[in-house]
A = this chain, B = another copy of it.
Amino acid sequence: MADEDTYPGWTAVSDLVALRDRMRLFTSERDWSGFHDPKSVLLALVGEVGELAELFQWLPAADAAKIGQAEPLHTRAGEEMSDVLLYLVLLADVLDIDLAAAANAKLTQAARRYPAPSAPSGLPTAPRQPG
């Protein structure tokens, strides 16, 4: 089986680890780690969720996807969702949580809890991860 030991030069693709590493560098270069207790990061995340909500609050529900796929909302939504993601990645780092592993486990759990009657081949399986 292909794995990173077998194929030198290959790098496991993890956006979440890459973002975590950038956040770590960003934080340490600014000496901001003292601010990053869990409750503070959580409130920062709540702030960004609020900004995201403001973008969509008064849109007609049925048209929101279409409007959100067009500019200028598309870029704005991407920015606010990025902020939410970055604080989530930061919080996971502060708590020493492997976010990708946790999310895959949660999806497997959800698939068991809500069985798909029509699924031809049982539970959804995660695309094979390298390593």
Near B by CB (< 8 A), chain A positions 1-42 give 1-2, 7, 9-19, 21-23, 25-26, 29-31, 35, 37-40, 42
Given A45-B49, A85-B88, check contact A65 B14 (CB 8 Å): no
Q: How many residues of A contact B (CB 8 A)?
A: 91
Q: A29 to B118, Cβ gap below 8 A? A: yes
Asked if B37 and A47 sit within 8 Å, CB to CB, the answer is no
- Chain A contact residues: over half helix, strand or loop, or mixed? helix
Residue of B nearest to A60 (CB): B61
A contact set with B: CB distance below 8 Å: 1-2, 7, 9-19, 21-23, 25-26, 29-31, 35, 37-40, 42-54, 56-62, 64-65, 68-69, 74, 77-79, 81-86, 88-89, 91-92, 94-100, 102-107, 110-111, 114, 116, 118-119, 124, 126-131
Closest 10 CB pairs of A and B: A50-B50, A61-B61, A29-B116, A82-B106, A78-B102, A43-B57, A2-B10, A15-B100, A47-B54, A82-B103
15 contacts between A and B (CB under 8 A): A7-B7, A14-B15, A26-B116, A29-B116, A39-B43, A42-B53, A47-B50, A47-B51, A47-B54, A47-B57, A49-B49, A50-B54, A78-B95, A82-B107, A85-B103
